[in-house]
Amino acid sequence: MSQPETRAETRAETRADTRADTHRMLITIEYDGTGLVGWQRQNNGPSVQEYLEAAAEKLTSRKTPIQGSGRTDAGVHASAQAAHLDVPTRLTTHAVVNGLNAWLNCPQISVLTARRVGQDFNARFDATERSYLYRILDRRTPSALRRHHVWHHRTKLNVEAMQKAAQYLIGNHDFTSFRATGCQANSPVRTLNSLSVTRLEDEIHIRAHARSFLYHQIRNFAGSLALVGTGKWQAEDIRMVLEACDRTKAGPTAPPQGLYLTEIEYPPESLAQK
């Protein structure tokens, strides 16, 4: 999830890197986070960014940094992460998608689309909304087929109570109670555009939309909403937890494998090629 940085500084670096013979591409990427350390390059294991940058270097025959819209944690999935990179002008969008997929040395990652954008476009700073889905399987027995793709909760959850509780979290709030201790964001205040809890067969789906999120914010929402779903907490308790601005008052952090980054939105003007 997005980390604070000086936008002006990053823009300057980006410009210095831009060569006359390249154009900028916005790509969308699907990945299965199982066994990966997350989006961002790290020393302790394989990351999505590392695999993609290796593929891009093969495709373009030069070092090609790839800037994502934000980080995702180890084990977290994406159905459509967004990122930008600069490629030689001879490469069409079709060649970028097929070329990256052909060079990707990891079947857990797939490039879905590419689109030409202006040289100033930035996948991280231009994003106006980030969407996530958190999937909970609430049944007695574990799922063999979905074992890496849902949080398995052994008792049935009350979806109506969870949906009611979610309403207290929507809007502009200090989300300290749902923020991981390691969060590097300057401010715990965020605006949650929407948060919904619905049932789809044997799963409960929590969908969250905001310009940006704090570290572990959605997994912490899921952990607390599940407590409401069990009946241990009332829906109204979520408001008190939120107002306490105290991480110890909220529920546990739900595990990473239930979380999916599903969409990054950009305003049309940021996508236009100037």
Question: In this complex, which beta carbon is closest to a copy of itself, that of residue 32 or of residue 126?
Answer: 32
In terms of Cα–Cα distance, which of 79, 76, 97 is closest to 27? 97
Question: In this complex, which beta carbon is closest to a copy of itself, that of residue 63 or of residue 140?
Answer: 140
- Check residue 221 and report its DSSP letter: H
Q: How far is the CB of 144 from a copy of itself (least distance, A)?
A: 4
Question: In this complex, which beta carbon is closest to a copy of itself, that of residue 20 or of residue 144?
Answer: 144
Encode 183-206: b = buried (16+ Cβ within 10 Å), e = exposed.
Answer: bebeebebebeebebeeeeebbbb
CA dihedral 224, 229, 233, 236 (to 10 degrees): 90
Which residue has tokens 């063999």?
Answer: 144
- Check residue 68 and report its DSSP letter: E
Q: How far is the CB of 46 from a copy of itself (least distance, A)?
A: 14
Q: How far is the CB of 163 from a copy of itself (least distance, A)?
A: 24
Q: How far is the CB of 12 from a copy of itself (least distance, A)?
A: 34
Question: In this complex, which beta carbon is closest to a copy of itself, that of residue 141 or of residue 181?
Answer: 141
Distance CA 148, CA 151 (A): 8
Q: How far is the CB of 45 from a copy of itself (least distance, A)?
A: 17
DSSP 106-144: -TTEEEEEEEEE-TT--TTTS--EEEEEEEEEESSSPPS
Question: In this complex, which beta carbon is closest to a copy of itself, that of residue 104 or of residue 165?
Answer: 104
Active centre residues (catalytic): 73
- Contact residues for a copy of itself, defined by CB under 8 A: 30-32, 77, 79, 97, 101, 107-112, 140-145, 147, 149
End-to-end CA distance of the chain: 29
